[in-house]
A and B are shown apart, each in its own frame.
Chain A
Amino acid sequence: MNQLLQQIINGISLGSIYALIALGYTMIYGILRFINFAHGDVFMIGAFVGFYSAPHISKLVGGSIIFSGILVMLLAMLICSLLGVTIEKFAYKPLRSRPKLTVLITAIGVSLFLEYGGQLIFGPDPKLFPTIVPSMAVVDTQNLVIGSNSIVAIVTAAILMLILRFIVFNTKMGAAMRAVSYNHQAAALMGININSIISFTFVLGSSLAAAAAILYSSVYPSINPLMGIFPGLKAFIAAVLGGIGNIYGAALGGLIIGLTETFVTGYLSPTYRDAISFGILILILLFKPSGIMGKFEAEKV
C-alpha cells in the first residue's frame, strides 16, 4: 500500500508522455494506413532542438522560466513539424501507391538515418537537458512524492490533447482529415486537397512528438540520439492497444502502457517488462485487433 499511490503517480506521468507520442502514430496511421517508424526519431530531434535553443531563448526573454519554457516548446514543435512534412514529401509521398512493405522499409530507413545522423552531428554521448520546468516537490510526504515536472507533464499533455480534439472535431480542417481517413478517393471528389491534409496531419503529429520530447526531457533530463527508440516503440504499442487511428484510444493506451510498465516493474519482475508490453500487444491484436476503443469507427481520424 505504501508504494501503490506512488507507483500510480509514476505510471500516469510516464503514460501521459507515451500518449502524446502515440497520438502522432495514430493520426498518421489513420490517414495513410502505414506505421511511421521514424516518429520516435522526430521525437528525439525535438529534444535536441530544445537542448540547443533553451539557453539562447532564456537569455532573450530574461527571467521568466515559464514563458521561455513555452517558447522552447513552440520552437521545437515548429522545427519538428517542418521535419515531419519534409520526410513525408521526400520519402513517403512518392511511395503512396506502392505496397505497404516498401513504405514500412522506407520509414525504418528514415529512422536509421535520423539516429545515425544524430550520432554523427550531436555526438553519441548523453547531454544534460537544460531546466525549463523548475523542479520541486509539490507533494512531499514520507510515502508519496509528486514533483512539479510530473505535474507539468500531465497537465500540458492533457491541454495538448484537448486542443487536438478541438482541431479534429470542431474545425473544417479536422472534418477534412476525418473525411480523408474514411476514403481518399471520395474525399478528393468532394474537393478536399488530399496532399495538404496529409501534410497537415504530419504537422500535427510531429509537433505533438516535439511537445512530448520537451516534457520527457524535462522529467528525464539526459538526452541522446537513440533516445527515441524505446518511447517510440512503447507509444506505438499504446496506439495499437487503444485502437490505432483513434485519438481517445491513443490517450487511453498511453496511460495503460505507462501504468502497466510501472506496476510490472514495481511488483513483478522488471526484467520481463518489455516482454509483457509486447505480450499485451499480441493479445490485443489476437482478440480485439481494432483495439480497446476501436469499435467507435465513427471517430477514426
Chain B
Amino acid sequence: MHRRKKILSTVIIALVSLIISCGQQADQNEILIGEYSSLTGTTATYGLSTHRGLMMAVDETNNAGGILGKKIKLLTEDTQSKPEEAATAVTKLISRDRVVGVIGEVSSSRSLAAAPICQANKIPMITNASTNPEVTKKGDYIFRVCFIDPFQGEIMAKFTFNSLGLKRAAILKDIKNDYSIGLAQFFEESFKSLGGEIVATQAYSEGDADFKAQLTALKAANPEAVIVPGYYTEAALIVKQARELNMNMPFVGGDGWDSGKLIEIGGESMNNSYFSTAFSSDDPDPVVQNFAQKYHQLYGEKPDALAALGYDAGLIMFDAIKRAGVTESSKLRDAIAATKNFRGVTGLITIDQHRNALKPIVILAVENGKLVYKETVQP
C-alpha cells in the first residue's frame, strides 16, 4: 500500500510539473500562430488535410524570409474531433502560448465552441472550412475563407435547376454532420423557390458504409437528380452503390466532395455527377498547379479542397500581418477584414463586411473518370 501511494504521488507530481513546464516561450524573432485541428478522432482525415495545407503555407512563407523580418512559428493543438477540446486548445493557445492569431477548424461545431474564446480575448481567428453562417456571427474577430452554406446551397440548386434542367430532386444527407444538414436545408429552400420539387429526403450517419436501403427508397420516388451534400468519404460509396442499383441519374454534391479519393473510390460510377467547389487540383492556373505539385511531393497525394483551404487560411493570415506591419490584435483584425482580391489557391478571395469570404464558385463534372470544368459563378 505504501509503495503504491508513493508511486502514485510521484506520478501526480510528474504530471503537474510536465504541465507547468510544457508552455511555449515566445521568441523575439518569431511570430506565434495557433492552429487547432482534428488530428485524431472521427474527422481526423479532414483535420489532417487542413493541417498539411497550413504547414505548407508556413514553410513557404518562412523559406521566403518570413514576415516582418521574423519567422512564423505554428503551434498545433489536436481537438480529438470534440468541441470542448477545441475550447480548451484555443484557451491554451491564447492564454499560455500568447499566439497572435488562431486558425481552425474544419467542423463548424468545434469552431462555434472556440470562436467566443477568440472573440473575448480579441485574437483574430480564421476558420478554414467551417461553413455554418453562425460561426462568423460570433464577433468581429472571426473570419472564414470557405463558402457559407446558404451561398453554396443556392448555387447547387440553381445549377441543378437551370443548367441541368432537372425539376425533381431527392436529397440524401448526413444527419450527424452540421455541414451536410445546413447545405441540404439551403439547397431545399432555393430549389423550391426556383419551382423545383423535392420528391424524397433520406439520411445517413457519418461512418456508415451501407446506403442501399436509403437509395432503394429514393429510387422508388423516381427523382431526376440526387443531391448528396456530404463528404467524399461517404459520397463515393453512395454513388457507387446507387449505380449498382441501376440509378443512373446525375448526383450533385458540394465542396465536401472535393478530394482525389472521390474518383479513386467511386471509380467509373462517379460519371454523370457534379459538385461545386472553390478548388480543383486540375485547374491549369499556375498558382494552383504550383501548390498541387508541391503538396504531392511532400505528402504523396493530390491535395483536396480542405488542404487548399488550410493553405489559404494561413496565407491570408500572414498577408494580413504583413500589411498590418505589426502583430497587435486590433490592427491585425483590421488588416484581415481589409483582405481584397487575395489570390489564393481557392480563387480570388475578398472578405466581406460579415467577415465571410467572397469568392467564385466552380462547378465540376465527372466525365469518363475525370474532373471536367463546367461553369464558374461569381459571388
Contact = CB atoms under 8 A, between A and B. Distances in A.
A125 B204 contact: no
Interface string A119-158: 1000111101000000101001010010100000000000
B72 interface: no
A150 B232 CA distance: 23
A135 B210 CA distance: 16
A145 B205 CA distance: 24
A220 B220 contact: no
Given A226-B207, A261-B213, A145 B244 contact: yes
Contacts of A263: 213
B244 A137 contact: yes
Contact of B233 (A123, A142, A147, A224): A224
Interface of A: 2-3, 6-7, 10-11, 14, 116, 119, 123-126, 128, 135, 137, 140, 142, 145, 147, 216, 219-222, 224, 226-227, 229-231, 261-263, 265-267, 269-271, 273-274
Interface in B230-286: 233, 236-237, 240-241, 244-246, 261, 264-265
Contact of A270 (B48, B214, B246): B214
Interface string B168-205: 00000001000000000000000000000000001111
A172 B237 CA distance: 44
A265 B217 contact: yes
A11 B213 contact: yes
Given A227-B207, A230-B208, A3 B217 contact: yes
Nearest to A264: B213
A145 B246 contact: yes
Contacts of A274: 205
A124 B209 contact: no
Nearest to A126: B233
B210 A14 contact: yes
A229 B209 CA distance: 12
Interface in B287-340: none
A145 B242 CA distance: 11
B234 to A, nearest CB: 8
A2 B214 CA distance: 14
A6 B217 CA distance: 10
Nearest to B202: A270
Contact of A222 (B44, B216, B233, B246): B233
Contact of B40 (A11, A119, A135, A220): A119
Given A7-B217, A227-B207, 15 more contacts: A3-B217, A123-B48, A124-B40, A126-B261, A126-B265, A140-B246, A145-B245, A220-B210, A222-B233, A222-B265, A263-B213, A266-B217, A270-B175, A270-B213, A270-B214
A265 B202 contact: yes
B220 A222 contact: no
Contacts of A126: 45, 233, 261, 265
A222 B213 contact: no
B199 to A, nearest CB: 14
Nearest to B241: A220
Contacts of B245: 6, 145
B24 interface: no
Contacts of A6: 212, 216, 245
A222 B236 contact: yes
B219 interface: yes
Nearest to A146: B244
B121 interface: no
A142 B241 CA distance: 15
Contact of A216 (B48, B209, B264): B209
A21 to B, nearest CB: 13
A214 to B, nearest CB: 14
A239 B81 CA distance: 30
Contact of A128 (B40, B45, B265): B265
B341 interface: no
A14 B209 CA distance: 10
B244 A222 contact: no
Nearest to B245: A145
Interface in B36-57: 40, 42, 44-45, 48-49
A2 B209 contact: no
Nearest to A231: B209
B202 A230 contact: no
Nearest to B48: A124
B220 A3 contact: yes
Contacts of B244: 135, 137, 145, 147
A10 B215 CA distance: 10
A3 to B, nearest CB: 5
B207 A266 contact: no
B209 A220 contact: yes
B237 A220 contact: yes
Contacts of B209: 216, 220, 222, 227, 230-231
Contacts of A128: 261, 264-265
